[in-house]
Structure 1
Amino acid sequence: MTIIVHRIRLLDGVAPDRFETWVRDVDYATCPELPSVRSFSVQRVIGPAVDGQAGAEPLAYVEIIDVSSLADFEIDMQSPPFRKLVSDFDQMAEVVSETVGNRIGDGYRA
């Protein structure tokens, strides 16, 4: 399986609560309509401490998308549900970096 990791930054003026509510109520709810998506989660992160000051970087998010393959995900990216997600997302946030890789083994989940 392929893993896609996006680091996300909110656009100026977008409240974290607005984005997080959309993630819970819309983004997660749309995943079953995207057959290539095996799992998906968004994490709120605070950047590393700078000069010992925790939270010196602005609030950011990381999303982890586990897909059956990049080719399958590219097909899903053309679907109306995915295009709607992109339209909504683009009004609130931007992807500032993307990393793609493969999971080693099954991993661990309690």
Structure 2
Amino acid sequence: MTTIIVLFNLREDADKDAYENWAKTTDLPTASKLPSVDKFEVLRTTGLLGGGDAPYQYIEVLEINDLEQLGKDAATEAMQQVTAEFVTFADNPQFILTESI
């Protein structure tokens, strides 16, 4: 299984409340229903354990059961719309592919 970690900050012109509402009402429900996605979470960072600000405001964690299917899922009209909306909020998101060791 592959886990995708997405690290990002909001764009300077993005409203935090608008993003979080969109994440709860659009992004999470849509992506969670994809055949390739076993689990999807959006996390807001609150700081570093030793103190200070985290380098990213948000972290998405997607547990993927089939990367090939994810490609098909991402090509759907619904996900194309979600992606277009996501990039209006996220500033240079980093998508990191991971696997358990």
After the TM superposition, which residues 7-86 of structure 1 pair with which residues of structure 2 at under 5 Å, given as runs?
7-46=7-46, 48=48, 54-55=52-53, 60-86=57-83
Partner Cα separation in structure 1 for residue 14 and residue 81 of structure 2: 19
Give the unaligned 5+ runs of structure 2: none
- Normalization by structure 2: what TM-score? 0.84
For the pair shown, the structure with the greater C-alpha radius of gyration is: 1
Partner Cα separation in structure 2 for residue 4 and residue 59 of structure 1: 16
Q: Which has the larger share of helix?
A: 2
Give the unaligned 5+ runs of structure 1: 105-110
Aligned length: 101
1:90 maps to 2:87: yes
Partner Cα separation in structure 1 for residue 52 and residue 3 of structure 2: 29
- Segment of structure 1 superposing worse, 21-30 or 39-48: 39-48
Partner Cα separation in structure 2 for residue 65 and residue 32 of structure 1: 9
- Normalization by structure 1: what TM-score? 0.78
Q: Which runs of 4+ in 1 moved over 6 A?
A: none
Root-mean-square deviation (CA), in Å?
2.2
**AA matched with 2:90:** A
Partner Cα separation in structure 1 for residue 34 and residue 85 of structure 2: 16
**AA matched with 1:69:** D
Per-residue displacement from partner, 1:30-81 (whole Å, max 9, x unpaired)?
Answer: 12542111110011114548xx7622x5761000011112111111111111
